[in-house]
Chains A and B, each alone.
Chain A
Amino acid sequence: MTYPIELRNVSYYYSPGTPLQVAALKNINLKIGEGELAGIIGHTGSGKSTLISHFNGLLRPVEGSVIIDGEDLAKDKETLRAARFKVGLCFQYPEAQLFEETVARDIAFGPKNMKLSDEEINERVKKAAEFVGLKPELLEKSPFDLSGGEKRRAAIAGVMAMEPKVLVLDEPAAGLDPGGKNEILSMISEYKKRTGCTVVLVSHSMEDIASVADRVIVMNAGTIAMDGTVDEVFSHSAELRSMGLNVPEITRIFIRLRELGYDVPADVYSVEKGAQILREMIRRRSV
């Protein structure tokens, strides 16, 4: 069985062999399957960014192996190069990396590096821009004339245009207003639905992860502290809080009600589900 992403006993140290050596990843074993939408969550410094930098070989493990689409990245240069295109990484505040004269050329940068034909590149740029909701007339503008939200979309489109098998997004909604944030998140779900690609979403926000992911991987101190469905992970909210993570307000309300002796589940994280349960309790009470 091959997985788009597989890490076997991966450890990574910063400043290895010096007194300043810091273990950023400790013996990580992780498989992310075809078509999964996995969320990675953890506080600053928990190892999230170091972890995703291994997915396309930007960082090489000090110990262990990274196997992308069945191929060990340590095999040879070609395998490593292929991984850069198979796994598209979109870092935090990606708009800071826009640099071309026009939006279209910026989106085309990745596909160009893949040595595709001009025709194919144009096609992909159009498709990616349309997907992220950038109007065609914006394509010939300078990326610096776009609004904050548009710049973010252009940067994400640049990674999507490479049509990677795995799309990895680090905090794609950071700094956006609630409306912009919801748009980006539903765009990500839609992308997964439409392309069937594997998507990895890295975030500080439990609310964001809960709203789109099938699976949640919790990083803490360089290790995978939890790995399960959204429901499973949220039922351990006390542990999540001890790891510096925040559970959604709704979950906090249900945990408190449980502490007070009410018979309610602890894994409630959406307003709809919470309202449904409470409405039923209130109804029973008034009968």
Chain B
Amino acid sequence: MREKLIELKNVTYTYEADEEGAPGYTAVRDVSLDIYKGEFVAVLGHNGSGKSTMAKTMNAIFEPTQGTVTVNGIVADSEEKGNEIRRIVGMVFQNPDNQIVATVVEDDVAFGPENLGVEPSEIRRRVDDALKTVGMYELREREPHKLSGGQKQRVAIAGVLAMQTQGIILDEPTAMLDPTGREEVLKTIIRLNKEMGITVVLITHFMDEAVHADRVVVMDGGTVIAEGTPQEIFSQEEFLKAHSLDIPQTAQLCRRLGFEECILTPDECVEKLTSVLGGAAQ
């Protein structure tokens, strides 16, 4: 049986009205969602659909207004348990510049384990391993602000790895990156999941990133409105467009060609086309 890492049960989160008169509002409504160990889940939804708020309840940055969040059996209902949960599930945010604290790459990665009181020799080992995993070991003595966006995000991911978390939540980690940076980060995420078995929750606006997930969750109005395999979700073009989302270009093309199966990547599409068209002999 599959083990749950994160369990959201009827979770509602309401932002309170602030003193300056901004009204409060409910960003997440009655969401129940399980994330299993070793799974790669992509979360889609338009701006303001509640994705980020939900993600913040998943590692106890926000305590739910109603409902319960359980991570690896720990119920997130106090500050102490929140700290415990954040050692199990780490988070990477959109803006690489907002999450780097140190002036040298390896110090930045060491920041988390140092706070946990890990032995110095153990920290050294963890930092080296984490930097090697994200492909940043060679640049370990560099100044973070001189790195590219994709490199900074990989340092942020290494920071989570060095805490030896079981899961990682990434909130639009590639939104501010150029295509090369996006590709570097996506490859790193896939490797963490497939090779190291780390549970991944990836919030993204890029449909071509979501196709790599085991499961896709679609949010709107603070609730989960659909979930399924990438094939199940991306075969619903009209539904997704109605929620300000889209399907990958490849899927659009295959649909227009009348292919019955939901084809999501250029490689699969080329394979299908060569079988339909026969050999290349013209």
Within 8 A of B (CB), among A229-270: 244-246, 248-250, 252-253, 256-257, 260-263
Within 8 A of A (CB), among B104-119: none
Whether B270 and A176, one on each chain, are in contact in the complex, defined by CB atoms closer than 8 angstroms, is no
Given contacts A175-B175, A262-B277, could you give 16 more A-B pairs where the C-beta distance is less than 8 Å?
A: A43-B180, A44-B149, A148-B48, A149-B47, A175-B47, A177-B205, A178-B244, A244-B178, A244-B180, A249-B266, A257-B270, A260-B274, A272-B256, A275-B256, A275-B257, A282-B257
Whether A244 and B179, one on each chain, are in contact in the complex, defined by CB atoms closer than 8 angstroms, is yes
Whether A179 and B276, one on each chain, are in contact in the complex, defined by CB atoms closer than 8 angstroms, is no
Give Cα A274–Cα B48 distance, bound, in whole angstroms.
33
Closest to B271 in A: A256
A114 at the binding interface (Cβ < 8 Å):
no
Measured CB to CB, the closest approach of chain B to A250, in angstroms, equals: 5
Binds A, one of B63-71, B131-139, B246-254: B246-254
Whether A253 and B176, one on each chain, are in contact in the complex, defined by CB atoms closer than 8 angstroms, is no
A residues sitting closer than 8 Å to B (CB atoms) are 43-45, 142, 144-145, 147-149, 174-181, 204-205, 207, 244-246, 248-250, 252-253, 256-257, 260-263, 271-272, 274-275, 278-279, 281-282, 285
B87 at the binding interface (Cβ < 8 Å):
no
Query: Can you offer 24 A-B residue contacts whose CB atoms are under 8 A?
Result: A44-B148, A44-B149, A44-B178, A144-B22, A145-B22, A149-B48, A177-B205, A177-B244, A179-B243, A179-B245, A180-B46, A180-B47, A181-B205, A250-B250, A253-B270, A260-B280, A261-B282, A274-B253, A275-B253, A278-B257, A278-B273, A282-B257, A282-B276, A285-B278
B75 at the binding interface (Cβ < 8 Å):
no
Whether B253 and A250, one on each chain, are in contact in the complex, defined by CB atoms closer than 8 angstroms, is yes
Whether A252 and B277, one on each chain, are in contact in the complex, defined by CB atoms closer than 8 angstroms, is no
Measured CB to CB, the closest approach of chain A to B121, in angstroms, equals: 37
Contacts of B148 in A (CB 8 A): 44-45
